[in-house]
Amino acid sequence: MAYRVLSSRVAPSSSSKFSSRFMFIFTLSLSFTYVCYSVLFCSAPVMPSSRFEEQRCARRDSAGAKKLLQRSAACTETNSSQSKLGDTAVPLRTLSLNRSELTRTQGAGARGADASRSKTGNASIISASAQRYGNKKLPNALIVGVKKGGTRAVLEFIRIHPDVRALGTEPHFFDRNYDKGMDWYRGLMPRTLDSQITMEKTPSYFVTHEAPRRIATMSQDTKLIVVVRNPVTRAISDYTQTLSKKPDIPSFEELAFKNRSQGLVDTSWNAIRIGMYILHLENWLQYFRISQIHFVSGERLITDPAGELGRVQDFLGLKRIITDKHFYFNRTKGFPCLKKPESSSTPRCLGKSKGRTHVQIDQEVIEQLRDFYRPFNVKFYETVGHDFRWD
Ligand SMILES: *[C@@H]1O[C@H](CO)[C@@H](O)[C@H](O)[C@H]1NC(C)=O
Ligand SMILES: *[C@@H]1O[C@H](CO)[C@@H](O)[C@H](O)[C@H]1NC(C)=O
Ligand SMILES: *[C@@H]1O[C@H](CO)[C@@H](O)[C@H](O)[C@H]1NC(C)=O
Ligand SMILES: *[C@@H]1O[C@H](CO)[C@@H](O)[C@H](O)[C@H]1NC(C)=O
Ligand SMILES: *[C@@H]1O[C@H](CO)[C@@H](O)[C@H](O)[C@H]1NC(C)=O
C-alpha cells in the first residue's frame, strides 16, 4: 500500500519505467530497514534479561564452563542495574557477585531449559540466595544404588530441578566414612533453602549391610531412589569398567562361574552379587517401607528419560519441571544428553566412560546368567510391584 501511495504521488502516470522501478526498490529497502529495526527493538526486551546478558557475555569467551560462569558473572554485575526484572534488581546483584561460587547444580538449575524459562529469573534468585543464606542440611533423599545402573544420569538429570541441590561427588558416608560422624557429613552438603531438597548419591549403599540401619538412624523419612537395570547387562558393564582399569584380570566367564559346565555361578563375585537385587532389598525393608523406595528403570532412563524423571519428581514431591524439552538423544553415544545450558559452550553429556561399549560375551554365557537371575528377578518384581521385563 505504501508503495502505491508513494508512486502515485511522486511518479505521475507519465513517468518512465525507470523511476517507478527505482521507487519500488527504494520503498522495498525502507520496508526492510523498518522490519530489521522492529525485530531488534521489540524482541530484546521480551527475552529474560539475565539470560540475554549471559548469552552476550558468554560469547566473548569460549573457554571451560567454570571460566564462562565467572566471565558472565562479571558482565551481569556491571549491568545488573539495567535489569528488566525491576524489583528483582537487588537479588540479581547478589546473584552476580556471588556467581563464581555457584556450583554446576545451579548452573543447570537456574538456566535449565525452555520449560522453566519463565521461571528463570526466580530460579536463579532462589538458588543464589540458597547459596548464601541457606543452611547445610542432612539429605532428605538419597540415590542408594545400584552401581552401573545409571545413578550418575539420574543425579545429573534431577539436579536440573531448581528445588533440588545435590552433592556432585559420592561421599560414601554410610559405608566407608560413617565414623567421621553426622557433622562431617552435613558439612559436605550444599546450602539449601527450606523449600529445597538435599540429595547425594552413593551406589554402594544398596549392597552395604549396615547402610539401611544407619540411614534410618539419620531419618526414617529419608526418601530412597534405586536405579536398577537388567542384572546380566549390569554385570557385564561392571566388568567392562573394571577391565578398563585393570586389563590383566581374568575373563568374564572365568570370574562369573565356579564351574561353567555345571552352571555354577560364583555369587561371591561382586559383579554377580550386586544384581541379586531382592536379597539386598530385603535388608532395606527391615528399616523402610517399600513406599519410601522408588525404583528407576535403567533401561527406560535411556529410552524415555523424561518419563522416568517425571516419576522421580512425583516421588520427591516436586513439581514436574524436567520434561522431554531438556533432553536430546545422542545416537553416536546411544545415550540421552541434557540440552545445552545457555551458560555453557557445550551440551552436557555424561563422561566418556558412560555408555561405553561392553566387552563381547558369549551368548550362551548370557543365557546361563539369565537363568541364574530369573528367580531373583521374579521375586524382586513381586516385592516392588513392577515388572522390569529383564527376561
Ligand atoms: C551497565 O549499566 C550501567 C547502568 O545503566 C551503566 O552505567 C554502565 O556503563 C553499563 N556498563 C557496561 C559495561 O555497559
Ligand atoms: C558472596 O558470598 C560470600 C560467601 O558466601 C560472602 O562472604 C560475600 O559477602 C558475598 N558477596 C556479596 C557481595 O554479597
Ligand atoms: C517470580 O518473579 C516474578 C517477577 O519478579 C514475581 O512476580 C513472582 O512472584 C516470582 N515468583 C516466585 C515464585 O518467586
Ligand atoms: C566342573 O565340573 C565337572 C563335572 O562335575 C568336573 O569334571 C570339572 O572338573 C569341574 N571343573 C572345575 C574347574 O572345577
Ligand atoms: C555425541 O557423542 C559423541 C561421542 O561421545 C560426541 O563425539 C558428539 O560430539 C556428541 N554429539 C552431540 C550432538 O552431543
Within a domain: residue 206?
A: yes
Residue 108 has what pLDDT? 35
- Give how far Cα 50 sits from Cα of 41, 113, 160, 165, Å: 17, 14, 18, 21
pLDDT of residue 45 exceeding 90, the answer is no
Residue 72 contacts residue 343 (beta carbons within 8 Å): yes
Residue 281: which domain range? 137-322+360-384
Amino acid in the structure at residue 237: S
Dist. CA 80 → ligand 1 center (Å): 8
CB atoms within 10 A of CB 199: 26
Instruction: Dump pLDDT digits (tens) for 339-379.
Output: 866 555 556 776 555 556 678 899 999 999 999 999 999 99
Q: Are residues 218 and 367 in the same domain?
A: yes
Ligand nearest to the CA of 332: 5
Q: Are residues 270 and 206 in the same domain?
A: yes
Residue 99 contacts residue 57 (beta carbons within 8 Å): no
Within a domain: residue 44?
A: no
Q: How high is the mean pLDDT of the chain?
A: 76
- End-to-end Cα, the chain, rounded Å: 70
Cis omega (within 30 of 0) on the bond before 146? yes
- Give how far Cα 343 sits from Cα of 58, 74, 255, 324, Å: 7, 13, 46, 20
Domain endpoint, select from 68, 100, 133? 133
The grid coordinates listed for 39 are: 525485530
Which tops the pLDDT comparison, 150 or 2?
150
Residue 309 contacts residue 159 (beta carbons within 8 Å): no
Instruction: Dump pLDDT digits (tens) for 217-267.
Output: 999 999 999 999 999 999 999 999 999 999 999 999 999 999 999 989 999
Residue 335 has what pLDDT? 85
% of the chain residues with pLDDT over 70: 63
Within a domain: residue 41?
A: no
Output the domain CATH number for residue 196: 3.40.50.300
Q: What is the largest distance, in Å, between two alpha-carbon atoms of the chain?
A: 105
Give the sign of the dihedral formed by CA 150, CA 151, CA 153, CA 157. Answer: positive
Residue from 302, 328, 329, 330 whose mutation best tests the ligand 5 pocket (most atoms within 8 A of CB) = 330
Give 32-40 contacts, CB < 8 A, sequence gap 24+: none
Q: Are residues 151 and 259 in the same domain?
A: yes
Q: Which of 37-51, 109-123, 186-200 has the highest mean pLDDT?
A: 186-200
Residue 358 contacts residue 271 (beta carbons within 8 Å): no
Which residues does the annotation place in the binding site for 3'-phosphoadenylyl sulfate? 148-152, 229, 237, 354-358
Confidence band for 32, pLDDT divided at 50, 70 and 90 = low
CA pair distance 186, 168, nearest whole angstrom: 14
148 belongs to the catalytic site? yes
Give the total number of structural domains in the chain: 2
R_g over Cα of the chain: 28
Which tops the pLDDT comparison, 91 or 330?
330
% of the chain residues with pLDDT over 90: 57
Instruction: Dump pLDDT digits (tens) for 102-149.
Output: 333 333 333 333 333 334 445 555 555 656 678 999 999 999 999 999
3-state secondary structure of 296: strand
Domain endpoint, select from 65, 100, 133? 133
Q: Are residues 114 and 155 in the same domain?
A: no
CA pair distance 315, 376, nearest whole angstrom: 25
Q: Which of 147, 148, 201, 223 is catalytic?
A: 148
